[in-house]
Structures are given as structure tokens and as C-alpha cells.
Amino acid sequence: MTAVASQVPSAQTSTQRLPFAKAITEGLRAAMRRDEKVMLMGEDIGALGGVFRVTEGLQAEFGAHRVVDTPLAESGIVGTALGLSMRGYRPVVEIQFDGFIFPAYDQITTQLAKMHYRSQGRLSVPVVIRVPFGGGIGAVEHHSESPEALFAHTPGLRVVSPGSPQDAFVMIQEAIASPDPVLFFEPKGRYWEKGPVDLGVEPAGSADTLNRAVVARPGTDVTVVAYGPTVATALRSAEAAAQEGVSLEVIDVRAVSPLDTATIVQSVKRTGRCVVVHEAVTYLGLGAEIAARVTEQCFYELEAPVLRVGGFHHPYPVAKLEHEYLPSLDRVLDAVDRVLAH
């Protein structure tokens, strides 16, 4: 994969407190102002502004030829975006809900992911597919899925998920700037949580920051690895653990694929303990991959087995039970207690 832009502060910065969703809106707006080849496609994204209003106001500003309402046909939307990208456009597709991405699964994994390799590098397909994913909104199956591992398993796709409004603003612009297809998983349960966003930060330069994990909170006793919706859960767990004198280091993975293993390993070699947290089903999920890599590279530094906290091997439950299904502060702290007990 090719390197993309780095985050650099501009000379003029402007920090606002924005909801997660509106941080993405501002990122889309900035990318569309920067490049007239950036266009948005999806169901009800124009006049309505999308189910979650992420694209609200963009059709009025950029016109219906750049913010396109499409038929209810996910495979056709992604296929059209693929063709447009081969003609020099940078389409950004919105999948209305995570569970509706599966009709487009074939287009994404067998066409979009392979076009660069299949053409021996002659073709780039800079398509971004935005996917509101995860639970926490009181919805049922098809509206609260976490399918990121399915796409991370496919070579040729970048799979990323921001954990904060600031990252949402910058990472969506980096995803659009990428020459590779990007699955951009947005934690919809966090859409209305506000945080500081410096609108003056622009993607620029040559470093591939889109793939880089970050230390969201430094600590010394246990490394907690998370991404997307569980970053906030991990940070709240760290606050609670600190009240009892336990120091958790929280790593925000940010990119599910390719995975920045070095940042995780560097942390675990200092703490000796690791807990991985995600909403997706634990069985064969990203936690298994991280646990394997940590075990391979930190075997002599580990003080305890790597533990995973995630969804159960069960279809997403009804709304009244989702709080039992999703990783909670108590489940994370229980795993922390277990690794500290070794």
C-alpha cells in the first residue's frame, strides 16, 4: 500500500467542541473543498443528510452532482464508485447501516480490493466506504454489526476506525487522500459525544499516519488495546482503575488493517500484561490476531496470558440485552484483575 498524508497543524488553528458525527462532516467538507473530484454517494445522503445527518448541508453547498442520492442497492453503489475511481474521481460511499454492507461484500472483496494488484499497479481505486458500525443505539441485528474483521482479512483493503472526534475529522481526510480503497468504520454509538476538534489540522506530507496506533493514555501496569467505540470504554476503565492505584496504558489502534504492531509491542514490553477490547465477536476477531502477535514478540516479557474482552459468539441481541453483550467498564476491569493476578 502507498503512503498517505500526515497530520500537520496549519498556521491558523481553530478548535471547537464537536460531536463525533459533525467532526466527520467537517472532514468531508474540507476534503470536498480541497479537491473537486471528491464526491459522496449513498442512500438518503442528499436533502436528508443521511440517517445520522453526517452529510447534512453538503448537497446544498456542493450540489447534487457531488452529493448523490442513490437507489437502495449497495452492490450497485460500490460498483459505480469503483468505476468512477478508475476515471479519476474519489468517491466516498455511505453504507446506511453496518449490516447492509453484505450485499456489497462481493464488490468490495473481489473487485475493489484486487483491482490494483490485478492491473499490476496500473490502476488505483481511491474509494472510501463509510460504515456506521457497532452497538449502543438500541437497535437490533443488521443495525449493530461489527464486521471489520471480515474486511481486514482481505488483502488490498485498508480498514480503519477513529476513536475520537479529532481523529474522525483528520482520518476521513487521510482516507480520501489514500490511493487505496478504505473501509472507514464509524462508531455510531459515539456519534453524539462531543470532543475538541482542531479544524486547522490538515492532512499533508508523506508519512502514513492513517496506519499509526497512538497511546491514548500512558500507564505502567497493564496495556489495554482498543479501537473505535471501545476506546472511550478503555479510557473510562483507566480512570476507574487509577482510583484503585492501577495504571492502565490505553492504545488506540486506529487502523485495523494494516495493524501497527510495533506500538502495541513497545507498550506490552514495558507493562508485561495486555487486554484487548472490541465489540466484535471475540472468536476469530482482531483480538485473536493481536494476542498472537503480542505472544510471538513479547513472550519473555509477558507476566500473564493476553486476554480478550469482546462480543459473544451470538447474533447481536435485542436492545434490552445489548448492555450485557457489549464490553463494559466492569468486564474490562475484570480482565485487568485477572492479568494482574498472575
Task: Return the active site residues.
Answer: 143
- Residue 257's beta-bridge partner residues? 159
CA atoms within 13 A on the CB side of 263: 21
Q: Could you tell me which residues come within 8 angstroms of residue 54 by beta carbon, excluding any fewer than 6 positions away? A: 21, 22, 24, 25, 28, 45, 94, 130, 186, 191
Q: Cell for 275? A: 487486554
What count of other Cβ atoms lies within 10 Å of the Cβ of residue 96?
20
Angle at 186 between CA 306 and CA 17, to 5 degrees: 105
Closest CA to 152 of 228, 82, 208, 84: 228
**Alpha helices, DSSP H only, in the chain?**
20-34, 58-62, 74-85, 105-106, 115-118, 148-152, 165-177, 230-243, 261-271, 286-298, 322-325, 329-340
